[in-house]
C-alpha cells in the first residue's frame, strides 16, 4: 500500500516537473505568439497604464476596437477611426489631425498594434528576468528605424506587464496596470472643442 502511494506521488511529481519544464522551454517566438494572441482573441479591450519618461510621469488608458481607438494620457486625448487620428492638446487648445501609421508598434502612437510582433519587422530574443516569467527584447530589422529596441515583460498567460522603448538612448517606460476585454471607443466630435485650433496634416 505504501509503495503504491509512493509510486503515485512520484508519478504526479514528474508530471508537474514535465509541465514546468515545457513551460520554461518556450522560445522567444513562442512568447511573441502568446503576447499577440492575448489581444487578437479579444474583439475589443481597454488597457490602463502609467507612462514614465526622463522628466514626466502620467497615467492613461486606451480603448481598442479593430483599428479604431480612443486614448487618454493625462489631459491629452487621441481619437482614431483606423485611417485618421485626432490628437487633442488642451494646454495649447489644438487638435492635430493626421493619418495613422498602422505599422507602428509604439503604444502611444498606435495602440492597436502595440503588442503584435508577428510580421517579421522585429527580431526577438529572451532575456533573464526577475519577477516575471519572460522578458522579450525586440529589435527592428529596419536599420533606419527610430526605435532601437522594445523590451516587454510578459506573464505566463501572455499578458504584458511592462514595456520599455529605447529611442536612441532615451527611454520611455510603460507599466500595464489592467486589461479589460470591453471597450468604449469614443469618436471625435469637433463640437466638443469649439475654441480649439484645427491643424490638418492629412
Q: Residues 89-118: pLDDT tens digits?
A: 999 999 999 999 988 999 999 999 999 999
pLDDT mean over 42-68? 96
Cα(99)–Cα(200) distance, rounded to whole angstroms? 9
C-beta separation of 102 from 113 below 8 A: yes
Cβ atoms 94, 195 nearer than 8 A:
no
- By three-state DSSP, how is residue 57 classified? strand
Mean pLDDT of 140-169: 92
Q: How far apart are CA 135 and CA 197, in angstroms?
A: 43
Q: Average pLDDT for residues 171-175, to the nearest whole number?
A: 97
Nearest CA among 34, 35, 31, 59 for reference residue 174: 59
Look at residue 24 in the predicted model and tell me its pLDDT.
Answer: 53
Q: Write down the mean pLDDT value for the chain.
A: 89
- In Å, how far are 26, 73, 94, 132, 180 from 59, measured between CA atoms? 33, 6, 21, 22, 16
Q: pTM, whole model, 2 decimals?
A: 0.83
Sign for the CA dihedral angle at 21, 22, 28, 33 comes to negative
Distance between CA atoms of 152 and 40, rounded to whole angstroms?
Answer: 17
Percent over 90 (pLDDT), the chain: 77
Amino acid at each position: 500500500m505504501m509503495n503504491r502511494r509512493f509510486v503515485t506521488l512520484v508519478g504526479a511529481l514528474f508530471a508537474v516537473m514535465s509541465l514546468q519544464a515545457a513551460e520554461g522551454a518556450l522560445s522567444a517566438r513562442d512568447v511573441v505568439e502568446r503576447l499577440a494572441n492575448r489581444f487578437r482573441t479579444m474583439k475589443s479591450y481597454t488597457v490602463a497604464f502609467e507612462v514614465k519618461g526622463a522628466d514626466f510621469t502620467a497615467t492613461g488608458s486606451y480603448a481598442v476596437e479593430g483599428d479604431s481607438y480612443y486614448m487618454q494620457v493625462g489631459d491629452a486625448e487621441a481619437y482614431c477611426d483606423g485611417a485618421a487620428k485626432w490628437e487633442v492638446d488642451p494646454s495649447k487648445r489644438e487638435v492635430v489631425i493626421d493619418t495613422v501609421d498602422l505599422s507602428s508598434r509604439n503604444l502611444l502612437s498606435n495602440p492597436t498594434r502595440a503588442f503584435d510582433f508577428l510580421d517579421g519587422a522585429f527580431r526577438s530574443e529572451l532575456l533573464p528576468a526577475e519577477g516575471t516569467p519572460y522578458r522579450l527584447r525586440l529589435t527592428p530589422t529596419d536599420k533606419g528605424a527610430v526605435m532601437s529596441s522594445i523590451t516587454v515583460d510578459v506573464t505566463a498567460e501572455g499578458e504584458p506587464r511592462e514595456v520599455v522603448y529605447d529611442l536612441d538612448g532615451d527611454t520611455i517606460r510603460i507599466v500595464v496596470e489592467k486589461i479589460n476585454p470591453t471597450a468604449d471607443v469614443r469618436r471625435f466630435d469637433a463640437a466638443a472643442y469649439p475654441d480649439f485650433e484645427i491643424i490638418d496634416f492629412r
